[in-house]
Structures are given as structure tokens and as C-alpha cells.
């Protein structure tokens, strides 16, 4: 009997070994190949070094190939052929037929060229497509993520609003199949072969449609057609009937807080991020030859011990650790590359010692997806929140908009102090609008939890100087780039002091019923201004200041808020005091009318509930917010 048990144990061990072996060395039908697209520039070279270092550390399976798009002239001067396994593709940055300068088209063009001409493309079952500005944290295995033939997996890109409007109707026969996706892409090779040529042709098609580049149509805050390639992807997929499994957990932007229980396996550092007083913005290093400058690294970030002291909330702290992980892996990759380039051994420093330490190695061990991370958006069912007894209150997130100036910094200090004392539930985020130059000189990074957004003070298209537009622009940017787990959003101004909690359940806010405070001087709601700028002037509410809005409503409304602000600001003929109520007649309150007119367009039959800004304290009625 004992021998039988021993035999069974050996059999079980053998089975486990076979399963593990299959995971590490996929059998037929499970061969993975990873692609990323770059150009012959220093900007992409340091990104390549970071991505390749993370690829090795994460133990991501299968080969990886850099699709390198270069002109002949660029290739003659290029120094980085050794940085990654490379497949050269013709540059499409300058379109050979139209002459249009659009480097982003190299991504689909490179994939098409690889499929047609690479021998490796004939020996693969699954293709993972990434961007160069990404850090891999663990194995990206398509079938474990839920990818199937006919159902690729992709990350969610909510700002692609062209899937919901005329843009999709113009550029695909199946607008109802348009998915707002990008970033991480996991495809079966058969699907990619059918789809890739359409990705390229639809990119060309959208890029040529300059009439529909506007922000309110595409979601591109610059309105310059830069995200045409992303729409080419979504429209091409819709055209061939590919529906994605959409995941909003697998990828995260450094600087954002991951949802509780979620383990992202991909960092996408496309936006500025900071930890305390330290910050990083990839665009500030566009021409940085750091790969070829011996022992030069990006500025060292804080150490884990400092972050533990900086942030007490465990989940926010986890978000900060992700930011550290991103830059440290890039710097580690640069160190290794410098050694491979034949650079002399760097002099000792505390930071170099940390990057070679056991503690750092443990922090950057491969991460593996858990069930919560793998949950697809289509699987998440909306929970009904009942205000009745025993039911949980919905989550709240408070936001306010500022710029990189001392004027807003002291206001931020006051608002943050009042937020902590008021008992306001949920998290708070400062939306900080800065130009690149402002950001380099800015000292107030640690004054509040911060989301960085491009400054719109000087309008990128009209050149109009109007800093107030940063408020709707920042809200829109935040919605499109942050994983928000709150159901209701409270929007305040920086020059406010909270004296008590502002909660949707106390003020009866609900979906399609935002709550705000009366601003009676907005007389434009009663005259020709409203008739000119909204098709529902009767629904124009004179409101502003404090806003409580359901997240679904804010997503639907934010673009109109920005668009209507631009529209009213451009209407100089109606700046007069007797039309707007603006005593300076300078159009300064255009953003406030943009808000009211946008709301009238969004909820023509659902006027705002007006909230009295008073709260009961110690038996007396007092203002809950001091403006």
C-alpha cells in the first residue's frame, strides 16, 4: 500500500511539473511575441532601455521585437541598433503620398510591415503590442488575461469620445462596435493579420478628416488630430467585427492610485507624475541622449522609507511606490546599458547602492495578475445605492482646479486644511494645470494629492489667454486619465473653506440630478446669450461654485462644459455687462456660462437642484462653504 501512495505522489508531482513547464514553455498554439514601435531618436532610445529592462525583470514570456521606423538619413546617424532585438521598417512619419507629418502612423505601418516581411511573424500564435513608454511588471500572457481568437484584450481609453458621435459614423460601417481601447493590446495572430491593414488605412482616413479634429468630436484636447492612430485602431477593429475584452485594471499611469486589491502589470508613464517634491515628465527629455552619456541617470526619486513617512494611507502609498518603481527600473536599465556600452564603473552613491540592493530586488520581483485585476469592464455590474437604513453610502471624490503659482498655493493650503477638519468623506485631488516651463520651476508638488494636466491658459489653437478654461479642461483630463472608483464627484474652487461635509445623500443629488449653488448674477441665462449658445435656453440654471455630480453625468457633461466655454469666450460681441452680468465686460466668466450652457444641453428636461450653502452647527445655521 505504501508503494502505491509513493507512486501516486510521483505521478502528482509529475503532473504539476508538466503544468508548470507548459506555463513556462508554451506548447503549440501558445507562442507569444511582443512588439513595440519606435523611431530613430534619443527620446525613444531611453524609453527602449527602460522597457527592455522591465521585460527581462518581469520574466515576460516569448521574444520581443522593436519595430524601428527610420529614414535613410536618420539611420546613417543612428547609434542605438544594439538596444533591443530590432526589425527595421520604412518610416511613414512623412506620408509618402500626402506629405502629412504624422509619426504616430508608424505604429500600424510597422505592424503591417512586420506581418508581411518578418519570419518571426510566421511562428507565433499570440501578439502583445505595447508602447515604448511602458514598464512591464509581470508576465503578460494573453490567454490568462482572457484573450480569445476573435476577442482581443485591451486597456480602456475612455477619452475616445469619437466612438460615440459623428466620427464613428463617418469612418466605420459598424459604429456600434467601436471600442474605446488602446495601450495594452493582446491579439491572436489570425485576428491581427486580418485587422492590421485596416488599422493603417483607417488611421490615414481619420488623419485626412481635418474637418472633424475638434476637441468636442475627438476628445483630443489640442484638436490637432494627434490621436488619429488610436481612432484608426478602434474603427479598423469595428470594421472587421472585433469586439474587445476591455480591462481597466491591467495598466495604470504612474501618479495614480490603484484600486484596492488590484495589481497592475503595466505602467504607462505617458503623463507627468510626482512623489513629494520630486517629479518626472517624459516630454522634458525629448532630446536627452542619456543612453549614451556614461553614468548619467534621471534624477533619483525618494527612497521607500521616505514614502512611508510621506503617505500614511496604504493604498495611496502603494500608488507612490508604483511611481518609484517606474523611474527606478528606467534608471537601472540605463546603468546596465552604460556598462554594455563600455562606460567606466560609476562612483559609489547611496542611490546606486539601493538599485543593487536585495531590498530593491524584492520590490521589483515579477508581479502576477489576481482575479480582481482580471475582471473585465463588461463583467462589472453597477451597484444600486439606496439611501435607506443599512445601505452603504456611495463613494465621493472631491476635486479642485489650480495653476502653478503662489497665488493658488496658499489657497490650496487653506482648502486642504479645511478638508481634513471638515469630515468630508472620500479622497481629494488637486487638478494642477502647468506649462512645462512652469512645472520645472514649481515648488508646491506636496501641498495636496495632485493630478497634473497640460495648461490651457494660452489656448493651443486661438492663442487666447484665458486661465479660467483650465477648470473644465482639467476635469476632462482627469476623467480621461484616472481610474476613478467614486460614484459622486464634488467640485470646488481653490478659494473655498469647508466647514462641514458635502455629501450627495444629504442634498438629494442623483444621477441626472446634479446639485449646485445659486449664482444669480449669471443674467445671460435670461437673455440672448443663452439663446445663442444652447438649444435649450429654458433649461439654463444660474449655478456654480459647489457642484455635486454623479460620475456618469460628469463623463457625459465635461466635454460640453469645455466646448461651451470656448464658444462663449470666442463670442466677444456679447461680453457686455447688460448681457453677461460681468462687471468688467472682459468675458472672464465665460467658463461659468460654459458650465450652465453645457448643462442645459446635457439635461434639457432635468434642471439642477439648487443647494442652500448652509449647514446646522451647534444649533445655528451657518454656511457650509466659505467662498
Question: Is residue 135 in a domain?
Answer: no
Average pLDDT over residues 380-400: 61
Q: Is 351 helix (H, G, I), strand (E, B) or coil?
A: helix
pLDDT averaged over every residue in the chain? 88
pLDDT of 4: 39
CATH of the domain at 562: 3.90.550.10
Q: Is 402 helix (H, G, I), strand (E, B) or coil?
A: strand
Cα 254 from Cα 586, distance rounded (Å): 39
Alpha helix positions (H), 34-82: 42-58, 72-77
Q: At what angle do helices 590-602 and 551-570 cross, to 10 degrees?
A: 130
**Residues with Cβ < 8 Å from 279, sequence gap 6 or more?**
272, 273, 439, 445
Q: Within 13 Å and on the Cβ side, how many CA atoms surround 31? A: 11
For residue 59, the Cα-to-chain-centroid distance in whole angstroms is 25
Question: Is residue 54 in a domain?
Answer: no
pLDDT digits (tens, 9 = 90+) for 499-520: 989 999 888 888 888 999 999 8
Question: Is residue 423 in a domain?
Answer: yes
Bridge partners for 126 per DSSP: 32, 188
Question: Is residue 552 in a domain?
Answer: yes
Examine the pLDDT at 612 and tell me if it is beyond 60: no
State the Cα angle at 558 between 554 and 559, rounded to 5°.
140
Question: Is residue 221 in a domain?
Answer: no
pLDDT of 616: 37
Q: Are strands 515-518 and 543-550 parallel, antiparallel or unpaired?
A: antiparallel
Examine the pLDDT at 7 and tell me if it is beyond 60: no
Average pLDDT over residues 453-478: 94
Instruction: Report yes or no: 462 and 572 within 8 Å, Cβ to Cβ.
Output: no
Report the 10 Å Cβ neighbour count for 360.
Answer: 18
Cα 490 from Cα 483, distance rounded (Å): 16
Grid coordinates of 477 = 483630463
Q: Work out the pLDDT band at 376, boundaries 50, 70, 90.
A: confident
Residue pointed to by grid coordinates 465665460: 590
Q: What is the DSSP code string of 174-207?
A: -GGG---EEEEEEEEHHHHHHHHHHHHHHHHHHH
pLDDT digits (tens, 9 = 90+) for 275-333: 988 999 999 999 999 999 999 999 999 999 999 988 888 888 999 999 999 999 999 99
pLDDT of 221: 76
Question: Is residue 314 in a domain?
Answer: no
Instruction: Report yes or no: 34 and 113 within 8 Å, Cβ to Cβ.
Output: no
Task: Tell me the backbone φ, ψ of residue 339, rounded to 5 degrees.
Answer: -60, -40
Single out the residue of 431, 430, 412, 434 nearest to residue 477, CA to CA.
431
Question: What are all long-range contacts of 296-301, with beta carbons under 8 Å and residues at least 24 apart?
Answer: 296/334, 297/331, 297/334, 297/335, 297/351, 298/327, 298/330, 298/331, 298/334, 300/331, 300/351, 301/275, 301/327, 301/328
pLDDT of 3: 42
Identify the burial level of 88 via C-beta atoms within 10 angstroms of its C-beta, where 0-12 means exposed, 13-18 middle and 19 or more buried. Answer: middle
390: left (phi over 0), alpha (psi -120 to 50) or beta: left
Residue pointed to by grid coordinates 455629501: 503
Task: Tell me the backbone φ, ψ of residue 360, rounded to 5 degrees.
Answer: -65, -40
Examine the pLDDT at 28 and tell me if it is beyond 90: no
pLDDT digits (tens, 9 = 90+) for 181-224: 999 999 999 999 999 999 999 999 999 999 999 888 998 877 89
Domain boundaries, position 453: 396-610
pLDDT of 608: 54
Cα 19 from Cα 262, distance rounded (Å): 26
pLDDT digits (tens, 9 = 90+) for 137-189: 999 999 999 999 999 999 999 889 999 999 999 999 999 999 999 999 999 99
Question: Is residue 480 in a domain?
Answer: yes
pLDDT of 627: 62
Cα 604 from Cα 560, distance rounded (Å): 13
pLDDT of 8: 36
Cα 172 from Cα 236, distance rounded (Å): 8
Q: By percentage, how much of the chain surpasses pLDDT 70?
A: 89
Question: Is residue 326 in a domain?
Answer: no
How many domains is the chain partitioned into structurally? 1
Examine the pLDDT at 478 and tell me if it is beyond 70: yes
Examine the pLDDT at 351 and tell me if it is beyond 80: yes
Average pLDDT over residues 58-70: 97
pLDDT digits (tens, 9 = 90+) for 537-551: 998 999 999 999 999
Examine the pLDDT at 606 and tell me if it is beyond 90: no
State the Cα angle at 433 between 521 and 418, rounded to 5°.
65
Radius of gyration of the chain (CA): 26
pLDDT of 215: 84
Examine the pLDDT at 246 and tell me if it is beyond 80: yes
pLDDT of 614: 40
Q: What is the helix (H) or strand (E) element at residue 335, kind and residue range?
A: helix 314-340
Amino acid at each position: 500500500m505504501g508503494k502505491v501512495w509513493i507512486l501516486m505522489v510521483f505521478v502528482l508531482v509529475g503532473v504539476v511539473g508538466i503544468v508548470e513547464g507548459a506555463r513556462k514553455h508554451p506548447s503549440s498554439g501558445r507562442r507569444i511575441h511582443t512588439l513595440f514601435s519606435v523611431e530613430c531618436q534619443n527620446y525613444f532610445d531611453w524609453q527602449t532601455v527602460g522597457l527592455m529592462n522591465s521585460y527581462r525583470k518581469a520574466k515576460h514570456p516569448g521574444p520581443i521585437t522593436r519595430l524601428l521606423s527610420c529614414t535613410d538619413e536618420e539611420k546613417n546617424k543612428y547609434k542605438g541598433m544594439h538596444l533591443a532585438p530590432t526589425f527595421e521598417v520604412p518610416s511613414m512619419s512623412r506620408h509618402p503620398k500626402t506629405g502629412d507629418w504624422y509619426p504616430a502612423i508608424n505604429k500600424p505601418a510597422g505592424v503591417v510591415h512586420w506581418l508581411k516581411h518578418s519570419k518571426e511573424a510566421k511562428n507565433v500564435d499570440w501578439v502583445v503590442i505595447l508602447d515604448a513608454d511602458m514598464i512591464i511588471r509581470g508576465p503578460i500572457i494573453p490567454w490568462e488575461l482572457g484573450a480569445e481568437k476573435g476577442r482581443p484584450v485591451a486597456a480602456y481609453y475612455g477619452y475616445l469620445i469619437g466612438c460615440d458621435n459623428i466620427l464613428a459614423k463617418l469612418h466605420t460601417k459598424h459604429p456600434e462596435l467601436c471600442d474605446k481601447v488602446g495601450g495594452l493590446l493582446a491579439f491572436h495572430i489570425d485576428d491581427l493579420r486580418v485587422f492590421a491593414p485596416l488599422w493603417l488605412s483607417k488611421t490615414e482616413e481619420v488623419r485626412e478628416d481635418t474637418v472633424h479634429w475638434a476637441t468636442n468630436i475627438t476628445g483630443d484636447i489640442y484638436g490637432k488630430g494627434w490621436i488619429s492612430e488610436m481612432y484608426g485602431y478602434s474603427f479598423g477593429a469595428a470594421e472587421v467585427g472585433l469586439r474587445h475584452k476591455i480591462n481597466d485594471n491591467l495598466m495604470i499611469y504612474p501618479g495614480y492610485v490603484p484600486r484596492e486589491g488590484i495589481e497592475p502589470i503595466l505602467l504607462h508613464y505617458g503623463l507627468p507624475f510626482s512623489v513629494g517634491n520630486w517629479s518626472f515628465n517624459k516630454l522634458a527629455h525629448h532630446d536627452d541622449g542619456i543612453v549614451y552619456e556614461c553614468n548619467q541617470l534621471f534624477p533619483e526619486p525618494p527612497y521607500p522609507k521616505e514614502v512611508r513617512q510621506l503617505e500614511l494611507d496604504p493604498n495611496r502609498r502603494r500608488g507612490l511606490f508604483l511611481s518609484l518603481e517606474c523611474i527606478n527600473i528606467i534608471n537601472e536599465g540605463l546603468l546596465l546599458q552604460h556598462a554594455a556600452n563600455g562606460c567606466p564603473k560609476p562612483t559609489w552613491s547611496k542611490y546606486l547602492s539601493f538599485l543593487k540592493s536585495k531590498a530593491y530586488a524584492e520590490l521589483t520581483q515579477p508581479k502576477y495578475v489576481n482575479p480582481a485585476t482580471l475582471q473585465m469592464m463588461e463583467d462589472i455590474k453597477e451597484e444600486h445605492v439606496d439611501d435607506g437604513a443599512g445601505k452603504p453610502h456611495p463613494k465621493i471624490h472631491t476635486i479642485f482646479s489650480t495653476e502653478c503659482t503662489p497665488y493658488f498655493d496658499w489657497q490650496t493650503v487653506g482648502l486642504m486644511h479645511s478638508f481634513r477638519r471638515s469630515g468630508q468623506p472620500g479622497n481629494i485631488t488637486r487638478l494642477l494645470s502647468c506649462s512645462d516651463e512652469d512645472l520645472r520651476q514649481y515648488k508646491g508638488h506636496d501641498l495636496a494629492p495632485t493630478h497634473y494636466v497640460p495648461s490651457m491658459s494660452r489656448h493651443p489653437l486661438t492663442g487666447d489667454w484665458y486661465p479660467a478654461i483650465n477648470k473644465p479642461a482639467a476635469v476632462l483630463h482627469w476623467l480621461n486619465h484616472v481610474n476613478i472608483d467614486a460614484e459622486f464627484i464634488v467640485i470646488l474652487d481653490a478659494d473655498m473653506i469647508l466647514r462641514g461635509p458635502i455629501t450627495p445623500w444629504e442634498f438629494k443629488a442623483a444621477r441626472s440630478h446634479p446639485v449646485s449653488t445659486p449664482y444669480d448674477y449669471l443674467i445671460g441665462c435670461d437673455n440672448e446669450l443663452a439663446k445663442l449658445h444652447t438649444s435649450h435656453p429654458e433649461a439654463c440654471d444660474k449655478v456654480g461654485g459647489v457642484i455635486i455630480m454623479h460620475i456618469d453625468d460628469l463623463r457625459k457633461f465635461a466635454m460640453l462644459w469645455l466646448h461651451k466655454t470656448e464658444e462663449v469666450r470666442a463670442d466677444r460681441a456679447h461680453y457686455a455687462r447688460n448681457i453677461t452680468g460681468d462687471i468688467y465686460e472682459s468675458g472672464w466668466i465665460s467658463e461659468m456660462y460654459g458650465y450652465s450652457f453645457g448643462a442645459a444641453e446635457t439635461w434639457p428636461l432635468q434642471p439642477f437642484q439648487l443647494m442652500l450653502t448652509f449647514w446646522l452647527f451647534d444649533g445655528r445655521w451657518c454656511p457650509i462653504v466659505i467662498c
